[in-house]
Amino acid sequence: MLQKDKLGQDMILLGRPGNLRRNLIMQFSELTRREIEYILLNRDTTESDLKQRREIQDGTATYYNQSAVRAATEGRILVIEGVEKTERNVLPILNNLLENREMHLEDGRFLIAAKNYDS
Give the pLDDT confidence of 4-32 residue by residue, as tens digits: 989 888 888 888 888 899 999 999 999 99
The sign of the dihedral angle between the CA atoms of 14, 68, 77, 94 is positive
98 pLDDT above the threshold of 70: yes
119 pLDDT above the threshold of 70: no
117 pLDDT above the threshold of 90: no
Give the pLDDT confidence of 66-86 residue by residue, as tens digits: 999 999 999 899 999 888 888
The whole-angstrom separation of Cα 111 and Cα 69 is 8
Q: What is the DSSP string of 51-119?
A: SEEEEEETTEEEEEE-HHHHHHHHTPEEEEE-GGGS-TTTHHHHHIIIII--EE-TTS-EE--HHHH--
Percent of the chain at pLDDT > 70 equals 99
